[in-house]
Structure 1
Amino acid sequence: MQQTARVSEGGEVNQLGHGTQINGLSGSAAIGLVVAAMSIALAAALAFTMLKSPGNSRSGSPAAYTGKQSAQMSSSAYPGSGQLAGSANGVKVVLSMPREGGLDASKYLPTDEEEREYFNKIGAAAEKPDYSAFAARQHLVPVGSDSYKLTITNASDSEIRVVNIRPVLLQREAPVNEVLYYPCCGAGGEESVVATLNLDDPQPYLAQGMADYFAGHSVPISPGDAFDIFIHAKTLKYYCTYSLDVQYIDSAGNPQHLEVLRPDWRTGNRAPFEVTAMLAVGGTYQREYMPKLPGPTASWRDGYYVRSDNQLVRD
């Protein structure tokens, strides 16, 4: 049985100015752009393919939710499509990533050769044999916020009770300022979330409104049942990395901890979650990449990019 809760949470990202147009991709000027857009487009395409593949049918968006006791239920023991993010003692956590589009940042500056290799045609770059290695070097990080769903499934023989989920091993640094990538292909928007995780808070917690979701509240999960929670993590100040600690009580009354890490869709390996703030007004990105289409009916496969260097963030 699946429990799905939900609460609305808005978020905005300031857009930056445009730079000099580079048609077709001339050297280092336009090609670096495609890296960003390509990664975003490919990630969306691969995610869509995974979600539509047999055995990975994805459930629709959760129904509107008004209160912790009105959770929607489903008969699927493994509801949301995604990848294993943690498991121990018969409890499994699967993470699915509803985020599509949005700004991304990277500490890696693509070389001129990489721009020529991967940015000339958005639709062709991902098909090249070394693209996965390049995407790993690129290591895109969501800007401003990140959304994902955790599905906690009790595959043990007795009931457990989830009492808290909180970030641990949280590291905060100055926001990424090397490269900013704008979204392409018209992607945008995020699925609704159950709780907001404000990583700028000295002691971050999962919140509905201003209240701690788990304050005086726990979630029982019977054997074979599952609990879904949509998390909207955000920061306005830092580049953050963290993992999640799912805290629950087993049937014997013993407290247990389960570490949750973000799976890499390319390799299946797990690593800390990441999100970076947009630079404050007056900050400077070393590069920005803005995707463009040659005409109103053109395909994103034929897109080109505008590269701008040393761009100042303005209101």
Structure 2
Amino acid sequence: MPYTQLGRTGLTVGRLVLGTMNFGPATDERDSGRIMDVALDAGINLFDTADVYGRSQLTGAGARGATEELVGRWLARGDHRDRVVLATKVYGSWGDLPNSGGLSARHIRQACENSLRRLGTDHIDVYQMHHIDRRVPWEELWQAMDLLVAQGKVLYVGSSNFAGWHIAQAQEAAARRSSLGLVSEQCLYNLAERAAEAEVLPAAQAYGLGVIPWSPLQGGLLGGVLEKEREGGRHRTGGDRAQTQLAARRGQIEAYEELCTKLGTPPSEVALAWLLTRPEVTGPIVGPRTLGQLESALRALSVELDADALAELDRIFPGPGPAPESFAW
């Protein structure tokens, strides 16, 4: 497993990040534990979860918080907690009460205490804001986060789904408080969805944030979906939204899978290998449902894409180009 630093921090993390959103709703506790065992043994040390994970987006089964509880039971075994860089998130709503979600100081404090309890730990290594909360002033937000850091309950603070200008706002507000500020941004970024290149990635790079892409396979669209379709398999990538994407981008996906065949590498591994070539990327999140999916992700670490392959991927999936040149003269 190759390692790198998380942004400008001294924290060392693997080039792949284990996502746990499927643990509980799609993968039972026994298989989830096996996946975490293999991931840790392979050198993956950054495990990502969220307080609201545990309820299936497709069926509605399960309960929010169940994934943190599952991960917490696994962490209690042996020396797992010492070996894992543990990341979770705050923002999602837990009910109909006025302060049951968002990023108010009140909710941040309450959510952190609840995550610590479910995870069975005394600290969270990377506490991430799951979404921007436009109602909350940065002064209030950083006061709440700085208090958690001072108490030793949180070591680093990260963001997720922030715009580039949100990152700039957050960092400038943190600087006024002489705080470390954000150390990472978790954003949607993959071959088929490259909008983050316009401003999010440059902002993260300028302010020293590590970039942790989520959905590296665009919900399965980059995972060999046409091959599975020909084999009679079902496309399990989010229902109507994924089917709409496939219908709109079938030509691109056909060209992509043809290139992967020429390279002799499965599409899912090419998609991950491409992200690993991006200089801003710390490591993509892989969220396996099965051990086989994890093993495929690990193989992507050894995939080398030459200049011709990278150029062809850019031709099939052109990015937005640098800002502001891409939308100015």
Higher helix share: 2
Larger strand proportion of the pair: 1
Q: Smaller-chain TM-score range? A: under 0.3
Higher relative contact order (CA 8 A, sep 6+): 1
TM-score normalised per structure 2: 0.24
Give TM-score, length-normalised by structure 1: 0.24
